[in-house]
C-alpha cells in the first residue's frame, strides 16, 4: 500500500515539474529575445539613424521602449513567479499596472504609426509631428491610469495560470462589466479602429510609398500584434460572458501570457526584414566586435638617435 501511494504521488508530481520547467525555458527564451533584440533596435535607431530612412521614428521608438520594458519587468516577473510560486505586494500591484501601460502604449504606438503613414506626417518637428508625439505619450499615460484603477480598488490577485498578478472579480458583475468595457473602448477598440481605417486607406493608394522606409514593416508589426494578443482579448471576452465571475480556462490564460510575451521578441526580428535597417544592425555589431578585437594605439614614443 505504501509503495502504491508513493508511485501515484510521483506520477502526479512529475507533470507539474515538467510543466514548470517548460514554462521557465519558454519565458527565459522570450525574455532574452525581448531584452537583447530591443536594445539592439534602440541602439541602431539612435546610433545608426543616418544609415536608413525612418520618417516615423517617434511611434517606432515608443513601441521598442514598450517591448523592452515588458521583457525586462513583466516577463522577468513571470519567470520569477514561476520559480518562487507567486508574487508579493507591492511588486504584484506594480506588475499589474505596468502590464496595462505596456499593452496600451504598444497598440497606441501602432495606431499612431499607421496614422503618420497615411497622413504623410514625418517625425521632424512640424506641428502635426508634435501632435503625434503628444498622442504617443498620451497612450502611455492612459495605460497607467487604466492600470491604476484595479490597484486602488484592490482587485489585484496572483494568477498561477497567467503567471503574474491580474485583475480578479469576486463580488460585482456590474463593476467588472463597466471597467472592462471602458478600458477596452479607450485602450483597445479606438486604436484598433484607427489601425483598420488607416490600413484601408493605405491599401487604396493613400499615404507614403515607403518601400525603403523603416515604416514599411508596419503591416507585419500590426499583424503579429493582433495575432499574439488575440488569446488575451478572447479571455477577457469569455469573462464578460460569465455572470458567475469565473475566469477563462487556465490554458487560455496561460496562452494569452505566452503569446503576448512572444510579441516583444518578434518585433526586433520584424524590423530586420527591412534591408537597410538590417545592414545597420549588422554594421553596429561588427563595429563593436572589431573595436574589441583590434589593437588600439594609445601612445607614441619618440626615439632620439
**Amino acid 84: pLDDT:** 86
Can you tell me the distance from the alpha carbon of 10 to that of 217, in angstroms, rounded to the nearest whole number?
Answer: 49
Peptide bond into 90 cis (omega under 30): yes
Checking if the pLDDT of 21 tops 80, the result is yes
Can you tell me the distance from the alpha carbon of 275 to that of 28, in angstroms, rounded to the nearest whole number?
Answer: 29
Per residue in 130-157, pLDDT (tens digit) is 888 899 899 999 999 999 998 888 888 8
Cell representation of residue 273 = 526584414
Mean pLDDT value of segment 208-223: 83
Instruction: Give how far Cα 239 sits from Cα of 39, 95, 242, Å.
Output: 36, 21, 5
Q: How confident is the model at residue 298 (pLDDT cuts 50, 70, 90)?
A: very low
Most confident of 14-28, 220-234, 242-256: 220-234
Mean pLDDT value of segment 218-227: 92
Per residue in 57-104, pLDDT (tens digit) is 889 999 999 999 999 999 999 999 888 888 888 888 898 899 999 999
Can you tell me the distance from the alpha carbon of 158 to that of 76, in angstroms, rounded to the nearest whole number?
Answer: 15
Mean pLDDT value of segment 217-239: 90
Can you tell me the distance from the alpha carbon of 111 to that of 133, in angstroms, rounded to the nearest whole number?
Answer: 12
- Please check whether residue 289 lies inside any domain of the structure: no
Mean pLDDT value of segment 273-287: 84
Mean pLDDT value of segment 238-257: 84
Per residue in 153-201, pLDDT (tens digit) is 888 888 888 888 888 776 777 878 888 888 888 888 999 999 999 988 8
Instruction: Provide the whole-model pTM.
Output: 0.84
**Amino acid 123: pLDDT:** 72
Can you tell me the distance from the alpha carbon of 66 to that of 109, in angstroms, rounded to the nearest whole number?
Answer: 9
State the virtual CA torsion across 261, 263, 269, 275 in degrees, nearest 10.
-160
- Please check whether residue 291 lies inside any domain of the structure: no
**Amino acid 290: pLDDT:** 52
53: left (phi over 0), alpha (psi -120 to 50) or beta: beta
246: left (phi over 0), alpha (psi -120 to 50) or beta: beta
Residue 13 sits at φ, ψ, to 5 deg, of -80, -25
Residue 249 pairs with which residues in a beta bridge? Answer: none
- Please check whether residue 132 lies inside any domain of the structure: yes
Quote the DSSP letter at residue 217: G
Can you tell me the distance from the alpha carbon of 279 to that of 268, in angstroms, rounded to the nearest whole number?
Answer: 14
- Please check whether residue 115 lies inside any domain of the structure: yes
- Please check whether residue 95 lies inside any domain of the structure: yes
- Please check whether residue 43 lies inside any domain of the structure: yes
Owning domain of residue 80:
23-284
Cell representation of residue 129 = 509631428
Checking if the pLDDT of 11 tops 50, the result is no
Cell 607614441 locates to 300
Strands (E), the chain: 156-159, 164-167
- Please check whether residue 138 lies inside any domain of the structure: yes
Mean pLDDT value of segment 50-57: 82
Checking if the pLDDT of 35 tops 90, the result is yes
The number of folded domains in the chain is 1
**Amino acid 154: pLDDT:** 85
- Please check whether residue 301 lies inside any domain of the structure: no
**Amino acid 13: pLDDT:** 37
Cell 513567479 locates to 81
For the chain, how many residues are written? 305
Cell representation of residue 65 = 521602449
Higher pLDDT, 58 or 2: 58
Quote the DSSP letter at residue 213: B
The mean predicted confidence, pLDDT, of the chain is 83
Q: Domain of 143: which CATH number?
A: 1.20.1070.10
Checking if the pLDDT of 301 tops 60, the result is no
Strands (E), 163-267: 164-167
Cell 504598444 locates to 106
Mean pLDDT value of segment 208-233: 87
% of the chain surpassing 70 pLDDT: 86
Cell representation of residue 76 = 522577468
Closest CA to 123 of 41, 176, 54: 54
Amino acid at each position: 500500500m505504501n509503495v502504491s501511494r508513493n508511485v501515484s504521488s510521483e506520477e502526479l508530481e512529475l507533470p507539474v515539474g515538467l510543466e514548470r520547467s517548460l514554462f521557465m525555458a519558454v519565458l527565459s527564451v522570450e525574455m532574452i529575445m525581448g531584452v537583447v533584440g530591443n536594445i539592439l533596435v534602440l541602439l541602431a535607431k539612435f546610433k545608426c539613424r543616418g544609415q536608413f530612412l525612418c520618417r516615423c521614428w517617434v511611434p517606432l521608438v515608443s513601441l521598442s521602449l514598450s517591448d523592452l520594458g515588458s521583457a525586462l519587468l513583466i516577463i522577468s516577473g513571470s519567470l520569477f513567479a514561476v520559480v518562487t510560486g507567486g508574487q508579493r505586494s507591492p511588486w504584484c500591484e506594480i506588475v499589474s499596472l505596468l502590464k496595462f501601460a505596456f499593452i496600451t502604449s504598444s497598440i497606441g504606438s501602432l495606431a499612431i504609426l499607421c496614422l503618420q503613414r497615411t497622413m504623410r506626417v514625418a517625425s521632424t518637428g512640424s506641428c502635426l509631428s508634435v501632435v503625434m508625439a503628444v498622442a504617443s505619450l498620451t497612450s502611455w499615460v492612459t495605460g497607467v491610469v487604466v492600470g491604476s484603477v484595479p490597484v486602488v480598488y484592490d482587485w489585484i490577485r496572483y494568477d498561477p495560470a497567467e503567471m503574474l498578478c491580474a485583475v480578479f472579480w469576486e463580488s460585482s458583475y456590474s463593476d467588472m462589466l463597466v471597467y472592462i468595457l471602458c478600458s477596452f473602448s479607450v485602450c483597445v477598440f479606438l486604436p484598433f479602429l484607427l489601425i483598420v481605417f488607416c490600413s484601408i486607406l493605405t491599401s487604396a493608394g493613400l499615404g507614403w510609398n515607403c518601400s525603403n522606409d523603416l515604416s514599411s514593416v508596419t503591416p507585419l508589426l500590426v499583424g503579429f500584434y493582433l495575432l499574439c494578443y488575440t488569446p488575451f482579448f478572447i479571455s477577457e471576452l469569455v469573462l464578460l460572458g460569465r455572470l458567475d465571475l469565473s475566469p477563462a480556462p487556465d490554458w487560455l490564460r496561460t496562452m494569452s501570457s505566452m503569446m503576448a510575451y512572444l510579441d516583444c521578441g518578434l518585433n526586433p526580428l520584424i524590423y530586420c526584414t527591412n534591408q537597410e535597417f538590417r545592414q545597420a544592425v549588422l554594421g553596429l555589431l561588427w563595429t563593436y566586435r572589431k573595436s574589441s578585437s583590434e589593437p588600439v594605439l594609445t601612445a607614441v614614443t619618440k626615439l632620439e638617435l
